[in-house]
Amino acid sequence: MQTSKDFNRKIILEDGSEYLGYAFGDLEDKVCEIVFNTSMVGYQEIISDPSYTYQAVVMTYPLIGNYGMTSDDYETVTPTIGGLIVREINDEPSNFRSERTVNEVLKSYRIPGIYGIDTRKLTRSIRDLGSRKVLITDISTSLNEGLEIIKNTDIPKDAVSKVSCREFISCPGSIVNQNTSGHILNVVAIDCGMKQNIVRSLTARGCNVIKVPWNTKAEEIIRLNPDGIFISNGPGDPTDVVETIETIRNLLGKYPIFGICLGHQIISLAYGAKTYKLKFGHRGGNHPVRNLETGKIEITSQNHSYAVDSDSIKGTGLEITHMNILDNTIEGVSNKSDNVFSVQYHPESAPGPQDSSYLFDKFINMIHNRGC
């Protein structure tokens, strides 16, 4: 049993607070933005979600690693999460599917981790003071040294370009699970850090998915002769990806378009709306969202720091379709005449919930109704 004398790792926040713990994963010092996730399961999907690039994630569920890691459940081939902060890490998982431990995976991708701290206190701090910079470092780093490192380290603005694909990638649709039209649809997916389960959700519905880099121009996409356009999730500030916003602006009204998370924000910006940064964001698998078209409540998976400004929607041609019940932020918009819609949350969420998976069917039906 370790005691306080055994502490070998700590985090320092830019407000001067410190939390002592123990090392796992990589031992390199790293400055990230600190955020928290309230999911009880799905830590592998969180670790491998490209939207967490440059972010250190605090898991509010106290035990992480108990069912291990398996190659089938990654959301990206190369995880880019900034760091992982947990109460307790299990390095001896019990699961017949497990292939590696969380510790082994973090070490292989040079991702630092720290365990043994009071994650409840830390999460309350993030809720009260907001997301901010944090340094994951050795126990020997003094507070003054740590604060100086934080002060002199900026969180990079190139997150989307870091995680997007570099070339066109074709992902064939499933013939067995063809959509109701009886033929395969071609969907161009603009990859801003796309989760793999989005690709699975589209190919399982009989769509050929052509992933293209985040900065692909509208003319190049038009040459691919798509039936529909998809814009993925991704990390960072949506206003940083001006190339993607311009591409979508030039495609509006030409094809059915569906956006998720960052894709939702990009669509809103392309129509002239504005976005703003939330105090501590939405991250977890239990966020209630009201569908304003049906009146139903959907329990959703979310992971975002930014939201669309509701006042800025006026005069854009967009209609608000979904609202977050907890804080009344916008969770979905649409422009029916342009065949465009988007949601802020994740209908493809793995391991769940699955309340919103119908949105992929809505996208496919929209393509059919347009005559494809």
**Sign (positive/negative) of CA torsion 142, 145, 150, 154?**
negative
For residue 252, the SS3 value is: coil
Active site residue 348: yes
Annotated catalytic residue within 261, 287, 304, 331:
261
Cα separations in angstroms, 83 against 88, 126, 156, 351: 15, 16, 15, 21
Q: What are phi and psi of 232, to 5 degrees?
A: -85, 175
Active site residue 346: yes
Cβ(10)–Cβ(22) under 8 Å?
no
* CB neighbours of residue 166 within 10 Å: 8
Long-range contacts of 245-254 (CB under 8 A, 24+ apart): 245/269, 245/270, 246/218, 246/270, 247/190, 247/215, 247/216, 247/217, 247/218, 247/221, 248/190, 250/218, 251/218, 251/221, 251/222, 252/335, 252/338, 252/340, 253/337, 253/338, 253/339, 253/340, 254/222
Burial class for 298, CB neighbours closer than 10 Å (0-12, 13-18, 19+): buried
* Distance, C-alpha 306 to centroid of its chain: 11
* Closest residue by Cα to residue 45 from 26, 21, 64, 22: 64
Q: Give me the active site residues, please.
A: 261, 346, 348
